[in-house]
Structure 1
Amino acid sequence: MSVTPITTANLLARQLKNLINSGSLKDGDRLIERDLASQFSVSRIPMREAIRQLEQEGLVKVYRNRGAVVKTLDASDIDEIYQLRALLEGEAIFQSMNYMDTETMARAELVHRLLGSASEPTQQGLYNREFHELLYRRCKNHRLLEMINGLREQIERYELFQRRLLSDTLKFQDEHEQILIACQHNNPAAARENTVSHILSAGEILKSYLLSR
């Protein structure tokens, strides 16, 4: 089994992604290759490649005369991303149900309870992601799971807003409950339907937030 080596550009792309997702680099901020290379004590060649990687992942936009900037998502971007997420995540949970085991279900139920009692936004976000990943993990289509992860990464920097909402409304927990019940009753169609509805609902909330900024 071959292992793809982690290059300097890969590591730099990961660091830049962390800066974007943490808010240290904000929407519209310029990524000045020379300055970033100096900041990370590397040459401009791997930094240029790292920026290209982020462009391919949808986090950065490169303009001919302006250079690279952190991509700002608008309402149409959110619609596209969440429509794709709904389709892919609905299919992932549908396929996962064919191979679901009692241990995975027990862990998903535990995480659901922990999310309901958590009050700190970062912890809520971790539990929320773990809940979904547990229910998708038995899907045998690894490319499907990689696509889901890629779409999540495009909106990860906005997730802090959504995590804060978790403490303000029971809607997310109610939707998670319906997904969980469908899985407990071994009903793949209902699990897919409830997951699609949940993802689209989250997209509408995020879109409203972006439009109000």
Structure 2
Amino acid sequence: MDFKKQTYAIQVSQFIRKMIQEGKLSPGAPVKENDLATFLNISRAPIREALQILTQDGLIVSEPQKGKTIRVLSAKEIIDGYALTAILEAEGIIMSLDNWTDEDNKDLLNILKKMGNKSKKAADITDLAELDELLHNMLLSRCTNEQLIENARRFSSNISKYLCREYWKKSFNPQSFYSRHKKVVDSFFTKNPEQIRKTIFDHYNELAVAISKLIEND
């Protein structure tokens, strides 16, 4: 690995993220500084810093006797985490409704249209992952509270991209995935805060329940 010295920690954290994403480091797997330092042929200091970054992001946990491991999420943690995601995302959308332009509305509908078209030939919902991220980012694009946005997207990203990726991709078929996002967009255009809150909560709660059931039945 040819890492630039000034960005060692960031690049190491990205490398570990990729290993989690590709299933090379599964939930519960140990993460050892010495092994990573030897494999990447760099000192332990940037490894330690990278692990701190990933711990703060919720991907790694540190426990007495066990050391650092890839985080394992319980069904309750998934449901609770998605509930928090829903609250933050809905409030971020609602507080920024007046900031939307006609061009923003067109961009949102265009993303949804692309998702609908792609869902017809997608093998599974991983084919729609990029559009899923674009759509949710677009819904929060006019919110000016950066901390809200960061926290709203972090847990959802950890689930779909890293910690439960294999379960996430089996949670819904592509057509259902698109239909669920259409409901969210439809609720947005009502401009009704309560309707938006309910739809966003249902959207994430249904996903949390689906993933939790898959984990329990595995």
**TM-score interval, smaller chain:** 0.7 to 0.9
CA-CA distance at 1:130 after TM superposition: 1.0
Structure 1 residues 14 and 94: alpha-carbon distance in aligned structure 2, compared to 1, 3 A threshold: same
2:53 counterpart letter in structure 1: Q
Is 1:148 matched up with 2:152? yes
- Tell me the residue number matched to 2:44: 44
Q: Distance in 2 between matches of 1:162 and 1:115?
A: 17
| Deviating more after overlay: 175-184 vs 66-75 | 175-184
Q: Distance in 1 between matches of 2:172 and 2:211?
A: 13
CA-CA distance at 1:31 after TM superposition: 0.9
Unaligned runs of 5+ in 2: 1-5
- For the 8 Å contact 1:97–1:188, the answer to whether it is kept is no
Q: Distance in 2 between matches of 1:63 and 1:183?
A: 42
- Tell me the residue number matched to 1:162: 168
Match of 2:136 among 132, 155, 165: 132
Instruction: Map 1:45-194 onto structure 2 (within 5 A).
Output: 45-118=45-118, 119-120=122-123, 121-155=125-159, 156-157=161-162, 158-167=164-173, 170=176, 172-194=177-199
- For the 8 Å contact 1:12–1:50, the answer to whether it is kept is yes
SS of the residue aligned with 1:25? coil
Structure 1 residues 106 and 160: alpha-carbon distance in aligned structure 2, compared to 1, 3 A threshold: farther
Aligned length in residues: 207
Match of 2:201 among 189, 196, 204: 196
2:187 counterpart letter in structure 1: A
- Tell me the residue number matched to 2:212: 207
2:91 counterpart letter in structure 1: E
Q: Distance in 1 between matches of 2:110 and 2:22?
A: 28
Q: Distance in 2 between matches of 1:168 and 1:161?
A: 14
Unaligned runs of 5+ in 1: 1-5
Q: Distance in 1 between matches of 2:196 and 2:175?
A: 22
Q: Distance in 1 between matches of 2:194 and 2:213?
A: 29
Structure 1 residues 15 and 108: alpha-carbon distance in aligned structure 2, compared to 1, 3 A threshold: same
CA-CA distance at 1:75 after TM superposition: 1.0
SS of the residue aligned with 2:96? helix
Among the aligned pairs, what percent are the same residue?
24
Structure 1 residues 197 and 24: alpha-carbon distance in aligned structure 2, compared to 1, 3 A threshold: same
TM-score normalised over the length of structure 2: 0.86
SS of the residue aligned with 2:150? helix
Q: Distance in 1 between matches of 2:87 and 2:156?
A: 13
Q: Distance in 1 between matches of 2:63 and 2:184?
A: 42
CA-CA distance at 1:164 after TM superposition: 4.1
- For the 8 Å contact 2:171–2:211, the answer to whether it is kept is no
TM-score normalised over the length of structure 1: 0.87
CA-CA distance at 1:98 after TM superposition: 2.0
CA-CA distance at 1:41 after TM superposition: 2.0
Q: Give the root-mean-square deviation of aligned CA atoms.
A: 2.0
| Deviating more after overlay: 174-183 vs 12-21 | 174-183
- For the 8 Å contact 1:9–1:47, the answer to whether it is kept is yes
